[in-house]
Amino acid sequence: MRKMIRRDVDVLVIGSGAAGLLTAYYLINRNIRVSVVTKGYGATAMSSGCFDILGMLDNKFLESFREGFDRLPDSHPYRVISMNKLTTLLNLFQSALREANSILDLYMGEVTRNINVITLFGTIKPTALIQKSMKGSILLPDGKYLFLGFNNVFDYNPKLQARMLLSFARIMGFKNIRAFGERINLGINIPSIHFLPVLLRRKKIHDAFMNTLDNLMNKYSPDSILIPPVFDKIEYLKDIQDDFPLYEVPSASPYKAGLRLNRLLWRLVESSGVPIYHAEDLRAIVARREISKITIRKNEKETEIHANIFVLATGDLVGGGLKIVTKKSSLEKELIDSVFGLKIANLSKKTFRDDIFSNHNLSKFGFKINENLQPISESNEPMIDNLYVTGAIIGGYDINEEKSGLGIPLVTAFRLSNLLKKAEV
Ligand SMILES: Cc1cc2nc3c(=O)[nH]c(=O)nc-3n(C[C@H](O)[C@H](O)[C@H](O)COP(=O)(O)OP(=O)(O)OC[C@H]3O[C@@H](n4cnc5c(N)ncnc54)[C@H](O)[C@@H]3O)c2cc1C
């Protein structure tokens, strides 16, 4: 017989990306009993780990999110949660970061000023907060950069990265940037850059690596030597940085900086006493626009979690929070959320574009929200009375066009925790 366990909390958060974990963290800080239930990692773990807040509009780089705020549509989550007030949004961001100061240990930068960083592709992107291990990827007007590769490792191409950076910098008007690429030989075949941290634990390889860095410094005297984020823990990299300017460049999965952020948040939440349940199979009980409980099944164990408030932080299509289904009646496709099956949009052929470089409506899809962060219907009614949303499951913005990815989870999680505190759940 299946064993049934019952748990009671004030708030149950669904999803363990940046949005879910930050929501749980802020709530427990307000003495609200909270638990998290999740399928696993999502887009946060795949990201570069940099907090983009609002870096671009109309293909132009912004110096700060403040510069673009007035040009955002009224339906943009930043405008909705701040009730169209830039100062409110600014306060929310600053307070959110102040309260999550344990993550700040890993980061440098400011919410009010974007910095331009060099990516693994040799492109340049605006972002607000970078991990300190990426400091050397900041674009300096007359910077000298060396992309480092390894003989017979084809995960990426350092010479190509250097060429890309030079072209990109020229287009942006930085004529004094210098960039080089070099593959080095450590006397051992490295099958992939991902093996580097393990191999460097061997003294012989570590010494060869340090000697090679020394030679490269003499040959190029670069401001930074750039590698992808491959270290799980950055302490080792910090030791090397005592002697050489070896830094990580922002890059998405399969590299480690996004995972590092996600794990850090996970540890922060668990060490604050919030239980995190892993759910292979999750069912919600909803009646008369009210959720009463979520049932999760794992092996032979079934857990019922009862809560007053439920927060959906399940991300977008990448994170698994949204899914596309085909209607049985008409064979048309629609976009729904993956937990409650709430409909978000009908998807016509127009939604999908063949040209990958044009705007894609699909990336803007997600729940329409009111200022209380409740998902609302077309007639602006809350879809479910005790359901709230944070993070990328919210629609109305496009991370690719705007460079606004992790800013949304950060500020929506903080805003919701303040609202729920006032509501005294
Ligand atoms: C490749 C890539 C690179 C990116 N790079 C950047 C960047 O450099 N800077 C930046 O700011 N942003 C970046 N982004 C965007 C950013 O990562 C996301 O917008 C952000 O992480 C979303 O956080 P989230 O917590 O809302 O969702 P996610 O991190 O996706 O978390 C969703 C969570 O919900 C869980 N979940 C989903 N469905 C269910 C379900 N049915 N039941 C239970 N749990 C469920 C998932 O397992 C996961 O834990 C990038 C995104 C991608 C995909």
Q: What is the mean pLDDT of residues 189-215?
A: 93
Nearest to 252 by CA among 401, 50, 40: 50
* Model confidence pLDDT, tens digit, residues 172-201: 999 999 999 999 999 888 889 999 999 999
Distance 46 CA to ligand 1 centre (A): 7
pLDDT of 359: 65
Distance from the alpha carbon of residue 3 to the mean position of ligand 1, in angstroms? 32
What pLDDT, in 10s, does the model give residues 114-141?
999 999 999 999 999 999 999 999 999 9
Distance of CA 400 from the midpoint of ligand 1 (Å): 14
Residue 22: per-residue pLDDT: 98
User: In which band, very low, low, confident or very high, does the pLDDT at 227 lie, cut at 50, 70 and 90?
Assistant: very high
The pLDDT value given to residue 299? 78
The DSSP bridge pattern shows strands 124-127 and 115-118 to be: antiparallel
Report whether pLDDT(97) > 90: yes
Mutate to test the pocket of ligand 1, among 23, 39, 65 (most ligand atoms within 8 A of CB): 39
pLDDT band at 351 (very low <50, low <70, confident <90, very high): low
CB atoms within 10 A of CB 105: 8
pLDDT value for 2: 67
The count of other CB atoms within 10 Å of the CB of residue 39 is 19
Cβ atoms < 10 Å from Cβ of 91: 12
Number of neighbours of residue 382 by Cβ within 10 angstroms: 16
Distance CA 273, CA 33 (A): 10
Atom of ligand 1 nearest to the CA of 48: 8
The pLDDT of residue 381 is above 80: yes
Which residue's C-alpha comes closest to atom 16 of ligand 1?
A: 405
- pLDDT level of residue 358 (50, 70, 90 thresholds): low
Residue 341 backbone class (left: φ over 0; alpha: ψ -120 to 50; beta: rest): left
Ligand 1 mean position to 232 CA, how many Å? 19
The answer to whether residues 147 and 162 touch, using CB atoms and an 8 Å cutoff, is yes
* 395 band by pLDDT with thresholds 50, 70 and 90: very high
The percent of residues above 90 in pLDDT, for the chain, comes to 82
| pTM metric for this prediction | 0.95
How confident is residue 341, by pLDDT bands cut at 50, 70 and 90? very high
- Judge whether residue 29 has pLDDT over 70: yes
- Residue 56's pLDDT is 95
Total number of residues shown for the chain: 425
Strand order in the sheet with 343-347: 322-326, 333-337, 343-347
In whole angstroms, what separates CA 160 from the centre of its chain? 27
Distance between Cα 129 and ligand 1 center (Å): 17
- Cα 244 to ligand 1 centroid, rounded to whole Å: 34
> For residue 387, what are the CA distances in angstroms to 39, 63, 104, 283, 420?
19, 35, 30, 15, 11
| Two tokens, residue 192 | 């992939």
Residue 83 backbone zone (phi > 0: left; psi -120 to 50: alpha; other: beta): left
- 407-423 vs 18-29: helix crossing angle, rounded to 10: 30
Ligand 1 pocket test, candidate residues 291, 298, 338, 406, most atoms within 8 A of CB:
406
Q: Comparing 330 with 351, which gets the higher pLDDT? A: 330
pLDDT averaged over every residue in the chain? 93
Residue 191 phi, psi dihedral angles, 5° rounding: -65, -30
Q: State residue 236's pLDDT score.
A: 86
349 pLDDT higher than 80: no
Ligand 1 center–CA 42 separation, angstroms: 4
Task: Give pLDDT tens digits for 230-289.
Answer: 998 888 899 999 999 999 999 999 999 999 999 999 999 999 999 999 998 899 999 889
pLDDT, residue 329, reads 74
Which residues lie across from 247 on neighbouring strands? 226
In whole angstroms, what is the distance from residue 227 CA to residue 414 CA?
33
Q: Which atom of ligand 1 is nearest to the CA of 339?
A: 41
pLDDT higher than 80, residue 350? no
As a whole number, mean pLDDT of residues 162-171 equals 96
Higher per-residue pLDDT: 392 or 187: 392
- What is the 3-class SS of the chain, one letter each residue? CCEEEEEEEEEEEECCCHHHHHHHHHHHHCCCCEEEEECCCCHHHHCCCCECCCCEECCEECCCHHHHHHHCCCCCHHHHHCCCCHHHHHHHHHHHHHHCHHHHCCEEEECCECEEEECCCCCEEEECEEEHHHHHHECCCCCEEEEEEECCCCCCCHHHHHHHHHHHHHHCCCCCCEEEEEEECCCCCCCCHHHHHHHCCCHHHHHHHHHHHHHHHHHHCCCEEEECCCCCCCHHHHHHHCCCCEEECCCCCCCCHHHHHHHHHHHHHHHCCCCEEECCEEEEEEECCEEEEEEEEECCEEEEEEEEEEEECCCCCCCCCEEEEECCCCCCEEEEECCCCCEEEEECHHHCCCCCCCCCHHHHCCECECCCCCEECCCCCECCCCEEECHHHECCCCHHHHCCCCHHHHHHHHHHHHHHHHHCC
Rg of the chain, C-alpha, whole Å: 23
Checking DSSP bridges between strand 290-298 and strand 301-312, what pairing results, if any?
antiparallel
- Per-residue model confidence (pLDDT) at position 199: 92
Task: Give the per-residue pLDDT at 31.
Answer: 96
Cβ < 6 A, ligand 1 pocket: 14-20, 38-44, 46-48, 50-52, 250, 252-253, 279, 282, 313-315, 318-321, 338-339, 391-392, 399, 405-406, 409
Whether residue 43 is predicted with pLDDT greater than 90 in this model: the reply is yes
pLDDT of amino acid 105? 87
